[in-house]
Amino acid sequence: MADRNRLINMFTDISRIDAESYGEARVAAYLKERLTELGFEVSQDDTGNLYGMLKGEGAAEPLLFSAHMDTVKPGSGKVPVVLEDRIVSEGDTVLGADDICGITEILEGIRIAKESGGIKGDIEVLFTAAEEVYAKGSKAFDFSRVSAKDAYVLDMSGAPGTAARKAPSIISFEIEVRGKASHAGFKPEAGVNALKAAAAAIAKLEIGKPTDTATLNIGTIEAGRADNIVPELCRCTGEVRSFDHEEALALVEKVRDTFAEEAGALGASVGFSRTVNLKAYETPLDAKVCRDFINACGKLGLAGDLVATHGGSDNNVFAEHGIKGIVIANGMYKTHSTEEYALIDEMVSGAVLVAALLKER
């Protein structure tokens, strides 16, 4: 059984520590102590990622568990409030359940497994830094240190018993349309309106869900210096997501080509850049992590549902390094908002699930 009070106390201890992206050092120090207490050999890299390894008692294949230490903003001065069935913040910051739920469930689950003799093989733990900024921490990690070929990432909203085995590529882009300034009252015809060119391109694109597997969004537009000046510069940013990496790349190129065509028709020019933040992956249904997850959930009376998610995580990075993983729901809700909360009973279930997954090895 998971220790409900221990879980709550650990969660609130971590929640009180400020840990916005790249500011996770104090959380890492706290977790290093907890991992050491469990018998892990622990180290930290220059990016702030915390890696631990615990030798198992048998010959089972090693297994990696992961969660991230950072939070989104506003995450400074968090005050967790424990209610009867959940933990919330005071309302002016995030709670940090994303991803304190994952961290606490991993640690409690390993403790349960140790106490019940369920450590059959080596356990590796990776608590990452800067996950909320497109997994910058895990991208910088030296994966030659990891022996495990299977991973469970506890970093998805919802009740334990659901996990994602498929996630998209996420590519962000920035467009700069350059026209020509002119007085908008006396000589508008002498100018080239960069905003008009950008608007024409956006109107031509299928914003939203252009295909069954992809999304396209223009998120920001910035243009102009004054009401009476034809805007000579317009900057737009956006992103593409797709479960097919090649489709994502092609859709980004379509955005570039559309802006170039519409801007050219008005006499404007276009600068374009893109960043591949995460690459799509799909873990096969017959992979051991999927089979073990379904079996463990069955024994615990959990749903055992394997789904696709349009969100990215460290698991995208793991897949690029040949590690097969799934992202497990951990009882967090309304993440990335000041209304974020964690359900206590679901955190308990998540910890028990971690222990059960270790016994499936």
Q: Using the predicted structure, report yes or no on whether residue 328 has a pLDDT greater than 80.
A: yes
Choosing from 278, 310, 345, the residue where a domain stops is 278
Region 118-133: mean pLDDT is 94
Neighbours of 60 (CB within 10 A): 15
Neighbours of 349 (CB within 10 A): 22
Choosing from 259, 278, 297, the residue where a domain stops is 278
DSSP 146: -
Same domain, 231 and 301: no
> Which sign does the torsion angle of CA 140, 144, 321, 319 carry?
negative
Task: Tell me the CA distances in angstroms from 163 to 294, 306, 345, one per residue in order.
Answer: 10, 5, 18
Choosing from 278, 304, 326, the residue where a domain stops is 278
Same domain, 100 and 241: no
**Weakest-pLDDT range from 20-24, 48-52, 72-76, 116-120:** 116-120
pLDDT digits (tens, 9 = 90+) for 237-246: 999 999 999 9
- Cα–Cα distance between 88 and 342 in angstroms, integer? 7
Residue 232 in tokens: 């000579």
Q: Dihedral, CA atoms, 344, 350, 352, 358, nearest 10 degrees? A: -160
What is the pLDDT confidence band of residue 119, given thresholds at 50, 70 and 90?
confident
Same domain, 125 and 267: no
- Mean pLDDT of the residues in the chain: 97
pLDDT digits (tens, 9 = 90+) for 81-111: 999 999 999 999 999 999 999 999 999 999 9
Across 91-182, the runs of DSSP E, i.e. the strands, are: 121-128, 150-156, 162-167, 169-178
- Cα–Cα distance between 349 and 354 in angstroms, integer? 9
Domain membership of residue 333 as a residue range:
4-167+281-359
Q: Are strands 80-82 and 86-89 parallel, antiparallel or unpaired?
A: antiparallel
Q: Using the predicted structure, report yes or no on whether residue 6 has a pLDDT greater than 90.
A: yes
40: number of CA atoms within 13 Å, CB side? 23
Same domain, 18 and 91: yes
Q: Using the predicted structure, report yes or no on whether residue 2 has a pLDDT greater than 90.
A: no
What is the pLDDT confidence band of residue 179, given thresholds at 50, 70 and 90?
very high
Q: What pLDDT does residue 59 have?
A: 82
Same domain, 121 and 193: no
Backbone angle region of 88, left / alpha / beta, with phi > 0 → left and psi within -120 to 50 → alpha: beta
* Residue carrying structure tokens 């290093």: 32
Q: Using the predicted structure, report yes or no on whether residue 118 has a pLDDT greater than 80.
A: no
Indicate the number of domains in the chain: 2
Same domain, 207 and 107: no
Region 114-138: mean pLDDT is 94
Same domain, 162 and 190: no
Same domain, 138 and 11: yes
> Cβ distance 62 to 121 under 8 Å?
yes
Residues whose CB is less than 8 angstroms from the CB of residue 271 and which lie 6 or more positions away in sequence, other chains included: 175, 176, 178
At residue 236, what are phi and psi to the nearest 5 degrees? -130, 145
Same domain, 11 and 122: yes
Q: What pLDDT does residue 75 have?
A: 97
Q: What pLDDT does residue 58 have?
A: 79
Domain CATH for 348: 3.40.630.10
What is the pLDDT confidence band of residue 26, given thresholds at 50, 70 and 90?
very high
Same domain, 144 and 196: no
Q: Could you report how far apart the first and last alpha carbons of the chain are, in Å?
A: 19
The share of the chain scoring above pLDDT 90, in percent, equals 96
Same domain, 43 and 115: yes
What is the pLDDT confidence band of residue 1, given thresholds at 50, 70 and 90?
confident
Q: What pLDDT does residue 182 have?
A: 97
pLDDT digits (tens, 9 = 90+) for 203-230: 999 999 999 999 999 999 999 999 999 9
Domain CATH for 186: 3.30.70.360
Same domain, 206 and 103: no
User: Which pTM value belongs to this model?
Assistant: 0.94
